[in-house]
A and B are shown apart, each in its own frame.
Chain A
Amino acid sequence: MTANGYKRPYPGGGMVKGLVITITTMFKTIFRPNKYLATINYPKVKETLVPRARGVIALDQEACTVCMLCARSCPDWCIYIEGHKEEIPPDKPGGRIKVRSKLDRFDIDYALCMYCGICVEVCPFDALFWSPEYEYSESKMGDMLHDMDRLQDWLQTVPDPPALEK
Chain B
Amino acid sequence: MTIDSDAVRHLSEASVSVELQTEDMTLNIGPQHPSTHGVLRLVARVDGERCFDVHPVIGYMHRGYEKLSEVRTYPQITTIVNRIDWVSGYANEIPFITAAEKLMGLEVPERAQYIRLILTEMARIASHLIFNASYPLELGAATPLFFALRERERVLDLLESVTGGRFHPNFNRIGGVKPAYASGSTTRKLLQDLPAGFFAETRVAMDKVLEAVDELDALVADNEIIVARTKGVGVLPPEVAVAYGVSGPNLRASGVAFDLRKTEDYLPYDRFDFDVITGENGDCWDRWHVRLLEIKESVKIIRQAIDTIPSGDLQAKVPKVIKVPKGETYVRAENPKGEMGYYLVSDGGQGPYRLKIRSASFSNISILPWILEGILVPDIIAVMGSLDFVLGDVDR
Tell whether, in the assembled complex, residue B185 and residue A124 are in contact, meaning their CB atoms are under 8 Å apart. Answer: yes
Residues of chain A within 8 A (CB-CB) of B153 are 38
Residues of chain B within 8 A (CB-CB) of A82 are none
In the assembled complex, the CB of A50 is this many whole angstroms from the nearest CB of chain B, namely: 4
Q: List A4-42 residues whose CB lies under 8 Å from chain B.
A: 4, 6, 8, 11-15, 17-18, 21-22, 25, 38
Interface string of B270-311 (1 = CB under 8 A from A): 000001111111000010011011000000000000000001
- A38 interface neighbour in B146, B164, B184, Cβ under 8 Å: B146
Tell whether, in the assembled complex, residue A118 and residue B75 are in contact, meaning their CB atoms are under 8 Å apart. Answer: yes
Q: Does A161 count as interface, using CB distance less than 8 angstroms?
A: yes
Tell whether, in the assembled complex, residue B75 and residue A73 are in contact, meaning their CB atoms are under 8 Å apart. Answer: yes
Q: Does B143 count as interface, using CB distance less than 8 angstroms?
A: yes
Q: Does A123 count as interface, using CB distance less than 8 angstroms?
A: yes
In the assembled complex, the Cα of A114 lies from the Cα of B289 at a distance in Å of 36
- A165 interface neighbour in B75, B147, B198, B289, Cβ under 8 Å: B198
Q: List B109-165 residues whose CB lies under 8 Å from chain A.
A: 143, 146-147, 149-150, 153, 157, 160-165
In the assembled complex, the CB of A51 is this many whole angstroms from the nearest CB of chain B, namely: 8
Q: Does A99 count as interface, using CB distance less than 8 angstroms?
A: no
Tell whether, in the assembled complex, residue B160 and residue A49 are in contact, meaning their CB atoms are under 8 Å apart. Answer: yes
Tell whether, in the assembled complex, residue A166 and residue B311 are in contact, meaning their CB atoms are under 8 Å apart. Answer: yes
Q: List B160-186 residues whose CB lies under 8 Å from chain A.
A: 160-165, 168, 170, 178, 180-186
Tell whether, in the assembled complex, residue A50 and residue B290 are in contact, meaning their CB atoms are under 8 Å apart. Answer: no
Interface size class of A (residues with CB under 8 A): 35 or more
- A2 interface neighbour in B181, B218, B279, Cβ under 8 Å: B279
Residues of chain A within 8 A (CB-CB) of B196 are 162-165
Number of A-B pairs, beta carbon distance below 8 Å: 149
Q: Is the interface of A mostly helix, strand, loop or mixed?
A: loop
In the assembled complex, the Cα of A124 lies from the Cα of B184 at a distance in Å of 5
Q: Does A75 count as interface, using CB distance less than 8 angstroms?
A: yes
Residues of chain B within 8 A (CB-CB) of A45 are none
**With A126-B182, A166-B311 as given contacts, are A1 and B293 in contact (CB-CB < 8 Å)?**
yes
B36-44, B220-228, B326-334, B378-386: which one contacts chain A?
A: B220-228
In the assembled complex, the Cα of A51 lies from the Cα of B195 at a distance in Å of 10
Tell whether, in the assembled complex, residue A116 and residue B168 are in contact, meaning their CB atoms are under 8 Å apart. Answer: yes
In the assembled complex, the Cα of A55 lies from the Cα of B288 at a distance in Å of 35
- A52 interface neighbour in B75, B147, B160, Cβ under 8 Å: B160
- B185 interface neighbour in A12, A49, A123, A163, Cβ under 8 Å: A123
Tell whether, in the assembled complex, residue B286 and residue A3 are in contact, meaning their CB atoms are under 8 Å apart. Answer: yes
- B193 interface neighbour in A22, A38, A115, A164, Cβ under 8 Å: A164
- B253 interface neighbour in A3, A22, A75, Cβ under 8 Å: A3
Tell whether, in the assembled complex, residue B182 and residue A18 are in contact, meaning their CB atoms are under 8 Å apart. Answer: no
- A164 interface neighbour in B150, B188, B194, B277, Cβ under 8 Å: B194
**With A2-B280, A52-B160 as given contacts, are A21 and B168 in contact (CB-CB < 8 Å)?**
no
In the assembled complex, the Cα of A120 lies from the Cα of B163 at a distance in Å of 14
Q: Does B79 count as interface, using CB distance less than 8 angstroms?
A: yes
Tell whether, in the assembled complex, residue A52 and residue B182 are in contact, meaning their CB atoms are under 8 Å apart. Answer: no
Residues of chain A within 8 A (CB-CB) of B161 are 50, 52, 162
Tell whether, in the assembled complex, residue A1 and residue B278 are in contact, meaning their CB atoms are under 8 Å apart. Answer: yes
Q: List A101-153 residues whose CB lies under 8 Å from chain B.
A: 114-118, 120-126, 128, 130
Residues of chain B within 8 A (CB-CB) of A54 are 164-165
In the assembled complex, the Cα of A15 lies from the Cα of B224 at a distance in Å of 6
Enumerate chain A interface residues (CB-CB to B < 8 A).
1-4, 6, 8, 11-15, 17-18, 21-22, 25, 38, 49-54, 69, 73, 75, 114-118, 120-126, 128, 130, 161-166
Enumerate chain B interface residues (CB-CB to A < 8 A).
72-73, 75-76, 79-80, 143, 146-147, 149-150, 153, 157, 160-165, 168, 170, 178, 180-188, 190-199, 215, 218-227, 253, 275-281, 286, 289-290, 292-293, 311
Extra A-B contacts (18), CB below 8 Å, given A121-B75, A122-B183, A124-B186: A1-B278, A3-B253, A3-B289, A6-B221, A17-B218, A17-B222, A25-B143, A114-B168, A115-B168, A116-B76, A117-B164, A118-B76, A121-B180, A122-B182, A125-B186, A126-B185, A163-B196, A165-B199
